[in-house]
């Protein structure tokens, strides 16, 4: 299966600490994305990293991709209570003219005030 697997399944940290979440996958990909889902809401795209990129930043987010290890990590620096949510990695690979996006099962992040 192409599905990414996130690790850990749940993470609880204190406000101000950094949160690191990992994603592993099994076969070659073209892009990898991270999404956030607040309780009772839909998923929101956070960041995309291409297979030829190693690191990408967006505000307090830092994503790395190691294609040799088939893994990615999402770092949220200086976490806030508002970062409490579920985070999903999604692997993307091209299928002819189309693209297939497959989501992992998600990581539940709790940030304690």
Distance CA 113, CA 105 (A): 26
Contact range with other proteins by CB under 8 A, out of 13-21, 44-52, 60-68, 75-83: 44-52
Among 3, 12, 18, 58, binds other proteins (CB under 8 A): 3
DSSP state string for the chain = ----EEE-SEEEEETTS-EEEEEE-SS--SEEEEEEE-TTS-EEEEEEEETT-SEEEETTEEEEEETTTTEEEEEE-S--GGG-EEEEEEEEEEETTEEEEEE---EEEEEE-
Smallest distance from the beta carbon of 78 to other proteins, in angstroms?
26
Residue nearer to other proteins on the CB measure, 81 or 101: 101
72 binds other proteins (CB under 8 A): no
Q: Which stretch binds other proteins (CB under 8 A): 20-28, 67-75, 76-84, 88-96?
A: 88-96
Q: Catalog residues that contact other proteins under the rule CB under 8 A.
A: 3, 30-31, 33, 40-45, 48, 50, 88, 92, 94, 98-106
């Amino acid at each position: 299966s192409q599905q990414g697997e996130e690790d850990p399944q749940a993470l609880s940290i204190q406000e101000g600490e950094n949160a690191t979440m990992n994603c592993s996958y099994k076969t070659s990909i073209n892009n990898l994305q991270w999404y956030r889902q607040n309780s009772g809401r839909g998923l929101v795209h956070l960041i995309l990293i291409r297979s030829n990129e190693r690191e990408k930043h967006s505000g307090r987010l830092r994503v790395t991709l190691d294609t040799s290890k088939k893994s990615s990590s999402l770092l949220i620096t200086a976490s806030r209570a508002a970062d409490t949510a579920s985070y999903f990695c999604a692997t993307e690979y091209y299928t002819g003219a189309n693209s297939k996006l497959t989501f992992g099962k998600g990581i539940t992040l709790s940030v304690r005030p």
